[in-house]
A and B are shown apart, each in its own frame.
Chain A
Amino acid sequence: MSDEIIQIETPFQFNEENKREFDELIGRYPVKEAAMLPTLHLAQRQAGYISPAVMKYVAELLELSVMKVKDVVTFYPMFFEEPVGKYVIRVCHTLPCALRDCKVVLEHLKAKLGTDIASETNLAKGTTDDGKFTLMKVECLASCDVAPVIMVNDDLYKNLTPEMVDELLEQLPN
């Protein structure tokens, strides 16, 4: 056994705004653990991804073991355990989008960005070398009427064609 335990060199902490938001959040639930998902969202927004330092911090805030946080982080695909691009592109590929040629959009994005599709355990695979984009496939985004759809960070883009994708990528500031 390597008794080596990771040493967290730069501890994570909420900035003041997020701390305030967290304090408000925690009051909503009769048990602290219930604030897990919103807290992790908050932390990810600040840190970019859920690093061991973040996990430890959240565990302390919610009075849980670190594993309880890790357990949740790995269950939900929206939490990242490694750094992702500035823009996370989620391409829906479930049936209604598939019926509307999401494959074309996906292949176009792959070619355009020159990257593979990220898997949940290997996000680096889908991240461009310049760290601007991370390309991932996701399941149904509940916008089947405007398929094919993609999400870029928090924004939904509808009825996409390869041309619209080109336009969209150009619009995004560096």
Chain B
Amino acid sequence: MVQERRILYEHLDVPNINTFDVYRQHEGYTRFEKAIAEYQPEEIAQMVWDAGLKGRGGAGFSTGEKWSFVPRDIEPRYLCCNADESEPGTFSNRYVLEKNPHLLIEGILICCYAMGIETTYVYIRGEFTLGKKMLDAAIKEAYEQGYLGENVRDTGLNINIYSHPGAGAYICGEETGLIESLEGKRGQPRNKPPFPAVQGVFMKPTVVQNVETLCNLPFIVGNGVEWYTQMGPTYADTRKDPPEPDRNTGTKLYCISGDVNEPGVYELDLGLTCTELIEVAGGLRGEEVKAVIPGGSSAPILTHYELDTRLDFTSLTLAKSMLGSGGIIVMNETRNIVDCLLNIMKFYAHESCGQCTPCRWGTPWVRDIVQRIADGEGRQTTITRPKFGVTESGRWGDTGETEEIYEDLDLLENVANNIANVDTMTWNTICVFGIAVSWPAVSYMRKFRPEFEAAIREGKLVTLPIAEATVPPEENYAYQQRFIPKEFSELQETTED
């Protein structure tokens, strides 16, 4: 069985690790001291790049690369730590904040040193009252101990950390939504470009990093790049010539919930499979795995056919899903996928910020359609209608062909794809919330279509046996393959993990 490798969480359960003294006894702040004693800021940034650290917040963007976009000649620059952990199924940051806040502070210090940043705002979700209390206390201690404030440890560095409470809006976890919210406005995401690295909070260059990402920094600095890169699988990115390594380094705080016996946070090397993770989490609660959501509720669902998918950034991208925030939700054979989708769609309809047209009015529409199907009022008519697409003249219109459709399922897929198209990965919205809506909507419906059809046909929710409910991957791939950009399908694993 796969073993946990506790790095970020190593000292999590040490009594009073939230206090400075105990944290100090467990190598606390030594990595920061090492950073300022042994490395230049640019060297730290290079180390982070070399370590292949990918952002743990959801997008999985290379942290080192992100830092390289920050213009170092514009002052001041800011660091925003994203502790607005709201993705359903994700709860690893909460434990860091509540139990080991000094680790986050050390991570922030290293980032501030590397990027020449003097001010950090930790945007902490409003419901995390305990987490905020613990963090505030730790910040206070760090000030007292001279690790924050003017002239940190006589190095001439000035570093301030302020915690900033959110107020219950999921969208503030989106980096530009977070920035707007931090500026005291509605958390409505901004258009990109310009990206926050260039024009972020208060229109100044801003690094936005998730709690978990920042917590990785002390260990990269403390144990070195080589040590860090040993963890996790590396693939060959054959889009490049010659192929470049596509790395998934480090550990991940996998949050597993739903139908497992021991839900919780498990720190493991990137790249284990769904089946292995369920095993680590005490096994399935129930008979059989029906579905797994691999990266928070926005991620496309995986069926029981796909349980050997590795839970890392690259593999999940190839499986047309994503690792996202690492929130894994497991569903057993008793679960009805229509019902689950309804729950998730209610969440998104409630959390849409309402700024841009497709999301504001499309998301509740999708919810209403799913609600109608779940209520047994889905429209049963199978209608033949003209097929729309790109016509011979090169314009969008009636192609002259016809297709047969289940009216409401077609509508569901179509409306969701009009918010953000999951096949072409293009969105009509300002931020990626759009794709976070249509990804589950379309993937659940396509992969568990029989259950949706049954709900419409029978006029009520019907939970089918797994084999009947799931569309086999062969058929599934028919639609996937149509749209997978060629270069992605050429990615192959090369090295050992």
Contacts and interface: CB of A to CB of B under 8 A. Distances in A.
Interface of A: 28-31, 33-38, 40-41, 62, 68, 71-72, 75-79, 90, 93-96, 98-100, 138-147, 151, 154-156
B169 A142 contact: no
A96 B126 contact: no
B264 interface: yes
B482 interface: no
Contact of B167 (A31, A40, A68): A40
A154 B86 CA distance: 17
29 contacts: A28-B121, A31-B183, A34-B183, A37-B165, A37-B166, A38-B165, A71-B185, A75-B186, A76-B126, A76-B169, A78-B167, A94-B297, A94-B343, A95-B89, A95-B297, A95-B344, A98-B340, A98-B343, A99-B257, A99-B258, A99-B331, A100-B258, A139-B88, A139-B170, A140-B89, A140-B347, A142-B91, A144-B89, A144-B257
A122 to B, nearest CB: 15
B367 interface: no
B477 interface: no
Nearest to A39: B184
Most buried by B among A36, A90, A138, A141: A141
A72 B85 contact: no
A141 to B, nearest CB: 6
B185 A72 contact: yes
B327 interface: yes
A75 B184 contact: no
Contacts of A35: 184
Interface in B401-446: none
B329 A145 contact: no
A95 B89 CA distance: 8
A142 to B, nearest CB: 4
A87 to B, nearest CB: 14
A33 B329 contact: no
B129 interface: yes
B86 A142 contact: yes
B87 A140 contact: yes
Nearest to A76: B167
Nearest to B125: A142
Contact of A41 (B160, B162, B165): B165
B168 A37 contact: no
A79 B169 CA distance: 11
Contacts of A154: 129-130
B127 A96 contact: no
A70 to B, nearest CB: 11
Interface in B139-196: 160, 162, 164-170, 181-187
A68 B185 CA distance: 8
B343 A31 contact: no
Nearest to A74: B186
Contacts of A77: 167-169
A98 B257 CA distance: 11
A94 B263 CA distance: 16
A79 B259 contact: no
Contacts of B130: 154-156
Nearest to A93: B343
Which A-B residue pairs are the 5 nearest by beta carbons? A36-B184, A76-B167, A144-B257, A78-B168, A154-B129
Interface in B320-342: 327, 329, 331, 335, 340
